[in-house]
Structure 1
Amino acid sequence: MVARVMTVASTDSGGGAGIMADLKTFTAMKVFGTAVIVSLTAQNSVTVKSIYELPLKFINEQFDAIMEDIGTDAAKTGMLYTEPIISNITEKFKQYGIKKIVVDPVMISKTNVRLLREDAVESMKSKLMKIADLITPNIPESEVISSMKIRNFGDSKKAAKKIHEFTGSAVLIKGGHAGGDCSIDILYDGSEYYEYKSRRIFTKNTHGTGDTLSASIASYLASGKKLPEAIELAKRYVEGAIQNSFPMGKGYGALSHFWVIK
């Protein structure tokens, strides 16, 4: 039986992030990917030109169509954009009793365009994050969620614990926005800290890195891996995808999602 993974997110017409990156990742992980699209974006490697929200009724119909027939072994969320969408998706996860949920709290694009409205942040924190198995914020997102400034690795550990305390979910704070030759991600699962250290790869071709990481973690969870191992394996996959990345467009280039497929 092939493991099934659902992505609940938005499109990227430029192909590098969002639903497009998720489905490429699922294919590379050899799981069966399904998609609930909540909004459409007109974007490329340089900017996000516009965002079009889909009606909640249609979002629900996509979700129901998948769950009434195919089902899912894990799910991940990406760009959700508005408070009504977040509230709605939270209830759909509850309705179907979906487990192994990875929440990537996408807030700002690499091109500095807001992808989560300010009035939706509290809903993300108080609703969706509380039913997640794992939350995967980067450092700027972690600062917003934890309401604290992160200046060093010690602050990341404090923020991870603080986020866990009010959500009850495991938290992986990604270290990509920190300086240095190495990137260190920190996982706090409520009892232990885990560190994931990798060599920093200096390249501009990193569009969709967060989507790809969360999608690969969800894939490994769906395949039966425990959380710390799922993150370790996903980190290796993303590191290879960045090492083999390439320019695509005039801005942030593309990851090589299929580098592991022989």
Structure 2
Amino acid sequence: MNYRIPPRVAMFNSFAGYGRCSTTEAVPILSAMRVQACPVPTAVYSNHTGFPSYYCHDFTGQLPDYLSQWERLGLAFDGIYVGLLGQKEQIPVVADFIRQQRQRGCPLVLIDPIMGDHGNTYRPVSPEYCEEIKELVRLADIITPNITEACLLTGVRYKDNGWRQEELVDICEKLHAFGPDKIAVTGLQRRSPQGYYDSFINFVSQRRPESGSLETTSTVTRTAGPSRHGTGDIFAAIVAGDAVRGEDFVASVEKAASFISLCIHASDELGIPESDGICFENFLDALIPRDES
């Protein structure tokens, strides 16, 4: 028998019926990684907000009843993954759930502090939300902000490119001060000698448990096509799936970046519109753990 009981992850994220993002990406990815995904919808969208129009049903009022039923069942989780929360009022509800699960021995909390990209916040995100999310980050073991979100969390001025290593180390030191031991800052780009962006970079920082000192590294992946919606959700889902399985953090970041690059390239070749996200469905087999394939 070359399989085992899948680790169980509670996953807070929005649900978009069309556009390949959030829950509709994370569930199949975690399942392929042999992880049981247990979604908690924070909002239901007809399609993601990158389209000209969309329908949204906020789930803030339903969250307490939804989670209280899990409490009645006595559910315990091996990990918690938090993505987009619909409203700032959801943050204390999620924080209470995390604390309850910590008391039951939950060893891992990954928070993807989704707020914006390319220097701007997303449409549903308010300045008050950006402030409140900082308190939630204090409960995380791992965070996966893009560079825009890292700047929003730390108060550092955003710039499109030209980040020096010492600047990124300073940002990560500020992020570690919130509490997380492992950080992956995504959304960084590198220019080629010809002047165009040819690679995307993830800056990884880990706090050593013995000394508290920081260990940093960068992973570089060749750019395979234009930026697309949903890549951050795929990245966070892969890192969360590996984390609950005890995989190395840097190796997990590299795996997520390579998988996204592969999917972007395929999406470009297939002519899939950028608003439709990345065609990941054809490559889920690449995420199956080798010892359980």
Task: Specify the alignment match of 1:77 in structure 2.
Answer: 82
3-state SS of the aligned residue for 1:173? strand
- What SS does the aligned partner of 1:184 have? strand
Taking the aligned partners of 1:160 and 1:212, their CA distance within structure 2 comes to 22
**Structure 2, unaligned stretches of length 5 or more?**
192-196, 208-213, 287-293
Task: Calculate the TM-score normalised by the size of structure 2.
Answer: 0.78
1:43-82 aligned within 5 A: 43-44=47-48, 46-47=51-52, 49-56=54-61, 58-66=62-70, 68=73, 71-82=76-87
Amino acid of the residue matched to residue 160 of structure 1?
A: C
Distance 2:254 2:70 in 1: 29
The two structures have a TM-score, normalised by structure 1, of 0.86
Give the one of 266, 274, 279 matched to 1:244: 266
Distance in 2 of aligned mates of 1:257 and 1:94: 34
For residue 179 of structure 2, what is the amino acid of its counterpart?
A: T
SS at match of 1:231: helix
5+ unaligned residues in a row in structure 1: which ranges?
Answer: none
Hey, what does 1:20 align to over in structure 2?
24
* Aligned counterparts of 1:114 and 1:222: Cα–Cα separation in 2: 32
Number of residue pairs aligned between Structure 1 and Structure 2: 259
Question: Cα distance 1:248–1:112, how it changes in 2: closer, same or farther (>3 A)?
Answer: farther
Distance of aligned partners of 1:124 and 1:77 in 2 relative to their CA distance in 1, 3 Å threshold: same
Show the counterpart of 2:290: none
Which residue pairs with 1:201 in the alignment?
224
State the SS of the aligned residue for 1:167: coil
Residue matched to 2:171: 159
Q: How far does residue 75 in structure 1 lie from its aligned partner after superposition?
A: 2.0
- Deviation readout 1:110-145 (Å, 9 max, x if unpaired): 9974232221111111x2101111111111111111
Whichever of the two has the greater Rg, that structure is 2
Shift of 1:215: 0.7
* Residue among 164, 168, 186 paired with 1:174: 186
Q: 1:35 to 1:9 in 2, by over 3 A?
A: same
**Which moves more between the two structures, 82-91 or 35-44?**
35-44
2:127 to 118, 124, 127: 118
CA RMSD of aligned residues (A): 2.6
Moved more, 10-19 or 70-79: 70-79
Q: What percentage of aligned pairs have identical amino acids?
A: 19
